[in-house]
Amino acid sequence: MSDNKPVGLSAEELAAESTTALPDKEVVSILDLNADIDLAIDAAAPIDLAVAANANVAAPIDAAVGANVLSVDSSAQALSDQGVLIDQGLDTDATAHATQDSGIDQGNDVVDSGAPAPADASTGTATDAPSTAPADGVGDAVGGATGSTDAGGAAGAVGDTAGGVTSGDMLDGNLLNVDVNVDADADVAAPINGAVAANANVAAPIDAAVAANVGSVGSDAVAVSQQDAIINQDITGSAEATSDQSSDIKQ
C-alpha cells in the first residue's frame, strides 16, 4: 500500500491558474432559433364512384352434436341429414356509370417573401447581437473581489486568483445560432373516378355432425352426416362499368 497522500495546490499555483467567468444563469442562451415559415398549400381531391350489383345468396346450414364427458356405459349419436334444392336464376343487367368533370384552378397563389421576425422588448430585434451586460456584471463582481487583497494569507491568494478571472469571447454570444427561412408553395390535385358493376350467385350448403366420448368406458359415439344438394344457378344479363373523367387543372 502506498503512503502517498494527495497534496493540494499552493497559493502561487492557485494564483497561476487561468479561469473564465460564466454569466448569470438566467441570461445564458444556449440556442438562438429564428424560424420564418411561409406555406401555401392547395389540395383538391374530387372523388366519384359508382357501384351496381345484383346478387343471389343461399347458405343453408345443418349441424348435429352429441357428446359424453366423464360418463360410463353411455352412447352419443349425432345424425345430420340435409337435402338442399337451390335454383337461382338471375336475369338482369348491372350498370355503373361514373362521370366526373373537374375544374381546378390553383394558379393564383401569392407567397409572401418573408417578413423579418417581430421585435421583442426583452431581446431587441431578431438580428441584434446578444447583450454583453452579464460580462459587465461579472467584471464588477471581479473588481469587488480584487478590491480586498490586503487580508493576507489565504485571502490574498483568493484575491489574486479572482484578479485573473476574465470573460472570454466564447460567452459573448449563443452557443448555437439557427436561422430558418422557408417559403413553400404546394399545389396538389388528385381527381379520382371509379365504377364497379357485378352480377353474382352464391350458394354454400353446410352439413356437419359431431359425436364424442371423453373419459368414458364402454361408450359408443356415432356421427352420421348425409347431405344431398342440388344447386342450379343461372345468370342472364350483363355487367357494365363505365368511368368518364374530364379534369382541367391549372397550377
Find the Cα–Cα–Cα–Cα dihedral 230, 233, 234, 239, rounded to 10°. Answer: 180
Query: Which of 22-31, 106-115, 175-184 has the largest mean confidence?
Result: 175-184
Confidence of residue 29 (pLDDT cuts 50, 70, 90): low
Residue 81 has pLDDT above 60, yes or no: yes
117-138 pLDDT per residue, tens: 455 544 444 444 444 444 444 4
DSSP 218: S
Give percent of the chain with pLDDT exceeding 90: 16
Residue with cell 336464376: 89
Looking at the fold, whether 186 and 237 belong to one and the same domain comes out as: yes
What is residue 109's predicted lDDT score, i.e. its pLDDT? 58
**Degrees, nearest 5: CA angle 122-126-132:** 60
What is residue 194's predicted lDDT score, i.e. its pLDDT? 93
180: which strand partners? 35
| Alpha-carbon span 232 to 186, nearest angstrom | 58
DSSP 157: H
Looking at the fold, whether 50 and 168 belong to one and the same domain comes out as: no
Measuring CA to CA, which residue among 178, 179, 191, 181 is closest to residue 39?
A: 181
Helix (H, G, I), strand (E, B) or coil at 143: helix
Mean residue pLDDT of the chain comes to 75
Looking at the fold, whether 93 and 185 belong to one and the same domain comes out as: yes
Residue 115 has pLDDT above 70, yes or no: no
DSSP 197: E
The residue among 114, 149, 172 that closes a domain is 172
Domain residues for the domain of 202 are 45-99+180-241
Domain count across the chain? 2
Tell me if 155 sits within 8 A of 15, measured CB to CB: no
More confident residue, 213 or 11: 213
